[in-house]
Structure 1
Amino acid sequence: MLHSELLAQIPLFDTLAAEDLEALANRMTERKFQAGTRVFDKGDTGSSMYVVLSGAVQIFLPGAENEPRVVLKDARTGEYFGELSLFDDKPRSASVEATVDTTLLELTREEFGDHLSKSKNAAMTILAEMAERLRETNAMLSQRAARDVVKEFEENLTWGQRLADKVAELNGSWSFILFLLALTAAWSAANQWLPKPFDEYPYQFYNLALAILVALQGPLIVMSQNRQTMKDRATAETDFRVNLKNEVGIEGLLREVGALRAETTKRLEVLERMMRSDRLRAEIPAKKPGGPLGPS
């Protein structure tokens, strides 16, 4: 796969023109890493992004002493990481290690900035993409995150979907088992004791009815399970939004508490200096005007 095609798969660059993708691809450098080699460590200063050309890397949080690492993601061919380092020089938030012999494409901040300075269209496209991401984030943070998604999901179900859920709910109950047992016993007794049985042993009509029932139960249960999977996915997305808003709120509170602590410390230092000055003035007696008269 061409380097420009790999770049086109990255959301940050997928709206760039073909000539800009080709120019950025030519600025990328191939770097090879053997299995077990660290690409970078958590806390390192970031200055470039990487695209996996071949092989695989593991993105993880290193554990403390005698504690296992926390694996965040396994990136394979065509995937990327470290793209935020193109815009700031903050430390890396995780470590990356090659799990097999791997070739990465590296795009440095200097090369990226140099291309943007020469291509107005590329710069505007990147700014538009970043603005769209910021707008989506603001919209997500401004709206109410906690919602009863299961209730909303169930309110939009069709009658067929509701029927499938009811059938799946009934099939997984003792009521359905007892009903089948009672129906089987009644069917057998009726055909045994009636003068003119309507379905003699081996009860072919009853077996046909049971076969049709089983054939219908399978698709209905699978449909209900698929909807349950969709409900679980919607619930997980809502939990993610709630956790994200809570995290942003906590970070804001921490900043405010930090600012309050700094302001309080500053004022306490001023008060301490004032009290120290007052104490020194009280300990040193005031000098009276004039002095002893000398001999005349």
Structure 2
Amino acid sequence: MSKPPLNELAQQLLGKPAAQLDPEERRVLETIEAGTLVSRDAGDVADERESFGDRLSDRVAAIGGSWGFIIGFSLVLVGWMLLNSDVLSHFGMAFDPYPYIFLNLMLSTVAAIQAPVIMMSQNRQASKDRLAASLDFETNLRAEIEILRLHHKLDVAVVERLQALEAKIDALGDGGISSPRSR
């Protein structure tokens, strides 16, 4: 049995011509036509598409948004302040005495760089979520179409079986065998 072309499948299963299909619908019908699987792992697909900058922004966001970073950074800040307030100022060598103007400049610079990198990572995560939703839609659409096709096959099989039984009953009635009603 030959497989129907994409346009025929689109009309039969989705009720619209192939030219009006969404990309997801087209991929689903192409996989049905080819007899292959449609489900894919969103993480793997996203990893295939990511660039070095994407991986870097994810890594910076992962480090900058961790308790280890917060604790370590707090220790560095306290150490900086103690070093410039007590230790080095005692010897007259404090390079950033209170009110820590250089420290404030460095903190502002880190915040100015870190915020856009974290936003890039969030945008990338949103993109991954959209990709996962699209792949889920494809899988759900494929499952729904396959269920409809199975229902159709069962309906056809039931109708064929009923027609065969009806033909047998008609043959028995025509063959001279009397039914209990005719006696």
TM-score (norm 1): 0.45
Query: What is the SS of the residue equivalent to 1:147?
Result: coil
Amino acid at match of 1:132: A
State the one-letter code of the partner of 1:251: L
Q: 2:136 aligns with which of 218, 235, 239?
A: 239
State how 1:1-296 maps to structure 2 within 5 Å.
Answer: 130=17, 132-133=19-20, 140-143=28-31, 144-191=37-84, 192-194=86-88, 195=91, 196-270=93-167, 280=178
Task: Quote the offset at 1:280 in angstroms.
Answer: 4.5
How many angstroms apart in 2 are the aligned matches of 1:180 and 1:131? 57
Shift of residue 139, structure 1, vs aligned partner: 5.1
Report the AA paired with residue 97 of structure 2.
Answer: E
SS in 2 for 1:208: helix
Measured after TM superposition, the shift of residue 200 of structure 1 is: 1.3
Structure 1 Cα separation of the partners of residues 125 and 60 of structure 2: 14
Residues 138, 229 of structure 1: alpha-carbon distance in 2 compared, 3 angstrom cutoff: closer
Distance 1:271 1:183, change over 3 A: same
C-alpha distance in structure 1 between counterparts of 2:170 and 2:138, whole Å: 48
Whole-angstrom distance in 2 between the partners of 1:217 and 1:165: 11
Please tell me whether the aligned partners of residues 57 and 117 of structure 2 are also in contact (alpha carbons under 8 angstroms). Answer: yes
Q: Distance in 2 between matches of 1:153 and 1:181?
A: 34
Contact 2:18 2:26 in 1 (8 A): no
Superposition RMSD in Å: 3.0
Q: Which structure features the higher share of helix residues?
A: 2
Q: Distance in 1 between matches of 2:48 and 2:27?
A: 25
What amino acid sits opposite 1:260 in the alignment? A
Gaps in structure 2 of 5+ consecutive residues: 1-15, 32-36
TM-score, scaled relative to structure 2? 0.70
- Identity rate, percent: 35
Distance of 1:186 and 1:145 partners within structure 2: 56
The 2-side partners of 1:230 and 1:247 are apart by: 26
1:138–1:188 distance in 2 versus 1, CA, 3 Å: closer
- Count residues in correspondence: 154
The 2-side partners of 1:131 and 1:176 are apart by: 53
